[in-house]
Amino acid sequence: MPNSDAPGFLLASISYLTAPGLVLFFMISGTLLLDNKLTMKEFLKRRLSKILFPTLFWTLFYLLVRYVDQRPSITAALTSMLSIPFSVQGHGVLWFMYVLVGLYLLTPILSQWLSRASKREVEFYLLLWGVTLLYPYLSMWLQINDSASGVLYYFAGYVGYYVLGYYLKSHYEYRLWHIIVALTVAVFVPLTLLLSGIKFDFYSALWYLSLPVAMMAFAIFELIMQLPNRQMAIAGQISRLSFGIYFVHIFIMRKILWNLDVVQSLPWLAQIPVIVLSTFLLSLFTSWVISRFRFSKYIIGV
């Protein structure tokens, strides 16, 4: 929100409860992509190009926006250009796409292993990945090395969600009590941290690579999988335009909506739904308009 005086607890709660949305995309991607028989060349040609060109386009777009806003030096601008794709450029929100590109590059290797791996072997990997999700809490009392020389370094990161999605599709049998335990952990951990008065970093203890967020994502994923399998035209259309919505939403929200007097004058209780709904609808409309152009696949992947 542009100038909100909303309670910090409320804003933190919204951030925490919506955090699974992003990692669910990694899980869904793993569900759909890791169980494939394509060669490396076929997979990268078919899938990587779908997100590579749009990511590059929007990286350059946000670099241009930054140049107009901040007027960086020629050296700084050139450094940003040459830093693609080694670090996120243009806007921080694009980090998600850079991670996704990395997962796509890894997919041909992972899919070959998973096609031969037993259920127990996949569970062994997920168990070690789960330990890395405990690092934010263990580091409160222990010395944890999460650098490249750490013993579990190669088991950490968003690839765990990618493999988890595959595992839930290929090996897991739904158990309601698993869902109850997962949601209990998701509630118990933040409440314990808050009530105990322990000082903690929100963006590690209760963020994407943390145990409670992983538990919420698991529960949501499995509950959705239990819903009747019905084709919904509107959901399919939104899904088709989802990359475009993600790419453009931050620009529409911060550069347009946040600068409107009518939005800034709203009380925080009204700002939240107004900004969320307006950002979504305008992003959806913008993506739909872009999709009508001939070269839209290079901009939003469709």
pLDDT (tens digit, 9 = 90+) per residue, 265-282? 898 889 989 999 999 999
Nearest to 56 by CA among 293, 241, 301, 302: 301
Residue 122, token pair as written in the block: 């996949």
pLDDT at position 221: 95
Range with lowest mean pLDDT among 77-86, 111-120, 242-251? 77-86
CA atoms of 132 and 152, how far apart (whole Å): 7
Cβ–Cβ under 8 Å, residues 46 and 38: yes
Burial class (CB in 10 A: 0-12, 13-18, 19+), 60: middle
pLDDT in tens, 34-86: 988 888 888 888 888 888 899 999 999 999 998 888 888 888 888 988 888 88
Close Cβ partners of 15 (under 8 Å, ≥ 6 residues apart): 202
**What is residue 196's predicted lDDT score, i.e. its pLDDT?**
86
Highest average pLDDT, of 124-128, 236-240, 258-262, comes from: 124-128
155: pLDDT strictly greater than 90: yes
Confidence of residue 231 (pLDDT cuts 50, 70, 90): low
Mean pLDDT of 135-156: 92
CA–CA separation, 220 vs 27, rounded Å? 11
Mean predicted confidence (pLDDT) in 157-176: 95
Q: How far apart are CA 282 and CA 290, in angstroms?
A: 12
Q: What is the model's pLDDT at position 150? A: 92
pTM, two decimal places? 0.89
ω before 85 within 30° of 0 (cis)? yes
Q: How confident is the model at residue 22 (pLDDT cuts 50, 70, 90)?
A: very high
Q: 34: burial class by Cβ within 10 Å (0-12, 13-18, 19+)?
A: buried
pLDDT over 90, % of the chain = 65
Average pLDDT, the chain: 91
Contact by Cβ (8 Å): 211, 20: no
pLDDT of 208 strictly over 70? yes
Q: Would you state the pLDDT for residue 235?
A: 80
Residue 24, pLDDT > 70, answer: yes
Mean pLDDT across the stretch 170-182? 94
Rounded to an integer, what distance in angstroms lies between the CA atom of residue 273 and that of residue 253? 13
- Angle of helix 159-170 relative to helix 211-225, nearest 10 degrees? 30
